[in-house]
Amino acid sequence: MKKVNISEKFELFDDHWSPRIIGQLNGQEVKIAKVKGEFVWHDHANEDEMFLIIKGTLKLEFRDHTVTLNEGEMLVIPKGVEHKPIADEEVHLLLFEPASTQHTGEVVHELTKNKKDLI
């Protein structure tokens, strides 16, 4: 067991859309990421995905509506639901998802990350 200071972990990197693993439990990964700009439309066919906003405001576009998340708010996106995250300013977020979750699902894009970084 090791205590994790999330604020300190965010200080270790500056790149956007590159989640870092800060914990694992029961086949799940706890990840943090800094995001800014628009991501790619994608879904996760077999996994739910949880977004928790630590700092900033994140818009999650869905094909029929948009959800805006502010600091301290979270949303669980059910498996198979296509979504596109957008951050007008830099956002710090925590993700919770199964270890099998691919960064951009089945979509291959220049923002896709295949390597998993543990910090």
> Tens digit of pLDDT for each residue in 58-117?
999 999 999 999 999 999 999 999 999 999 999 999 998 888 766 555 555 565 555 666
Helix (H) or strand (E) holding 59: strand 58-61
Say how far apart CA 33 and CA 18 lie, in whole Å.
Answer: 6
How many residues does this entry show for the chain?
119
**pLDDT given for residue 59 in this prediction:** 98
**CATH code at 6-118:** 2.60.120.10
pTM beyond 0.85: the answer is no
- The share of the chain scoring above pLDDT 70, in percent, equals 84
Q: What is the DSSP letter of 78?
A: P
> Tens digit of pLDDT for each residue in 42-64?
998 888 889 999 999 999 999 99
> Tens digit of pLDDT for each residue in 66-75?
999 999 999 9
**pLDDT given for residue 97 in this prediction:** 81
**pLDDT given for residue 85 in this prediction:** 97
Residue showing tokens 């800094």: 34
Whether 37 and 95 have beta carbons less than 8 Å apart is answered as no
